Amino acid sequence: MTDDSSARLSAEQAENTAKPEKTAKPEKKAQPEKTAQPEKTAQREGDPRDGANPSRATRTMERQLRRSGALLLVGLAAQGLSLLGLQTPMGFMAFAVFAGTFIALGMVYFLWAVSRGSTTIPDS
């Protein structure tokens, strides 16, 4: 009995001493992985509001420039058409109502985008 019990005890001790070793290993490996992952994602994405992500900021800027450009091009087209009717009230109205409005909107939108977008226009 004593031999059996001593053998069990020695086996349990051996198990107990072995368990912490097994659990410690993954902890040591996991700690640096867990801390390294957020750093990597922060470098890649960052806060979208502070312009740390160039691709996102560039996309925003591109979208804003496209919108502004579209407004301005429509306004210029309207102005061109209004010049065909120069010296007619219709031409004057087309200029004042359509061309002037679209060009002014395009310019104001661009200025708004730039004023907001010192964050969104990235440095190359």
Note the residues at the interface with other proteins (CB under 8 A): 58, 61-62, 65-66, 68-70, 72-73, 75-77, 79-80, 82-83, 86-89, 91-93, 95-96, 99-100, 103-104, 106-107, 110-111, 114, 121-122, 124
Sign of CA dihedral 18, 19, 22, 24: negative
Residue 102 CB, nearest approach to other proteins (Å): 10
CB 95 within 8 A of CB 82: yes
Residue 21 CB, nearest approach to other proteins (Å): 55
Which is nearer to other proteins, 42 or 70 (by Cβ)? Answer: 70
| Helix boundaries (H) for the chain | 2-44, 54-84, 89-93, 100-116
Which is nearer to other proteins, 36 or 93 (by Cβ)? Answer: 93
CB 68 within 8 A of CB 109: yes
